[in-house]
């Protein structure tokens, strides 16, 4: 892990660097999606404002989710390098997209469809910032797994020089989330290029990302709060159920395809 890049007198946090890279990648994907759909809105501006809203939401969600940290270090928690909650970022990011999509006259659901692949890819790349900084987003301590009469020793990593150091092997969950984010983004991008009802891509994004986060949470260190589930797992389950409802709703809507510069019902 490498929490900081030392460039002379400047200590550059790798988390911030990867967040910037994730934003650039997301802007590229959104721009390509807009061009494919013949949308003339400013993709870079939309992504930039969404990232800012997402960072604010992620930090506020983290503060509400871990009030003990706020009591310990006070308002400094708001600009600390660690401590970002994905679902806070997701909620604020979606709200920002809805507002900007309406303002740009793209349409709320269509905006979310067009940006869903970028959200998945950007999230996966951003998780590498967590991995490099060792900020505590890793998983639980590795233990042998007994399966079908055999003992397996899962691969793990320690983070002795991380922001939140740990000297024993743990599950490198940010790497799992990187793989999941890229795979989900690839699937959504391909699906968005085919005729689909408005809202379908959003629904699939919520299902796939919610399921991925729910599974990863099973080997993370977050405390259980209800029914043996963590806050993130409860939020993941809620997102996936909402996605299922959206997909079922879109199944009764006409397919839309892009012809020239107008959407046409297939």
Q: Yes or no: say if 23 and 122 are a contact pair by the CB < 8 Å rule.
A: yes
Tell me, what's the pLDDT at 74?
56
* Segments in the chain below pLDDT 50: 259-266
Q: How many domains does the chain have?
A: 1
Bin 149: left if φ > 0, else alpha if -120 < ψ < 50, else beta. left
Distance (Å) of CA 256 to CA 98, 112, 125:
20, 15, 30
Tell me, what's the pLDDT at 190?
93
Chain-centroid distance, C-alpha 139: 17
Give the predicted TM-score (pTM) of the model. Answer: 0.79
Per the structure, the complete domain to which residue 255 belongs is given by 4-265
Tell me, what's the pLDDT at 1?
66
Task: Specify the DSSP element, H or E, that contains 196.
Answer: none
Tell me, what's the pLDDT at 14?
74
Question: Which residues are 224's β-sheet partners?
Answer: 230
């Amino acid at each position: 892990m490498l929490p900081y890049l030392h460039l002379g007198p400047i200590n550059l946090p790798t988390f911030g660097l990867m967040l910037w890279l994730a934003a650039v990648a997301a802007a590229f994907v959104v721009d390509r999606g807009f061009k494919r759909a013949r949308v003339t809105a400013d993709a870079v501006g939309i992504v930039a404002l969404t990232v800012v809203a997402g960072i604010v939401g992620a930090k506020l969600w983290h503060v509400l989710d871990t009030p003990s940290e706020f009591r310990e270090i006070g308002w400094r928690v708001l600009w600390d390098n660690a401590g970002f909650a994905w679902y806070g970022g997701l909620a604020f990011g979606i709200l920002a997209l809805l507002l900007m999509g309406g303002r740009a006259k793209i349409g709320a659901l269509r905006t979310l469809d067009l940006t869903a692949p970028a959200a998945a890819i950007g999230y996966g790349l951003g998780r590498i910032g967590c991995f490099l900084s060792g900020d505590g987003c890793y998983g639980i301590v590795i233990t042998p797994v007994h399966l079908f009469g055999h003992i397996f020793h899962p691969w793990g990593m320690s983070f002795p020089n991380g922001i939140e150091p740990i000297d024993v092997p743990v599950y490198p969950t940010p790497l799992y989330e990187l793989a999941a984010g890229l795979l989900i983004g690839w699937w959504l991008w391909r699906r968005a290029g085919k005729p689909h009802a408005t809202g379908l891509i959003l629904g699939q994004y919520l299902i796939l990302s919610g399921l991925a986060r729910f599974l990863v949470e099973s080997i993370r260190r977050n405390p259980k709060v209800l029914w043996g589930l963590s806050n993130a797992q409860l939020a993941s389950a809620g997102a996936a159920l909402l996605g299922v409802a959206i997909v079922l709703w879109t199944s009764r809507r006409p397919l839309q395809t892009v012809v020239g510069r107008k959407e046409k019902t297939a």
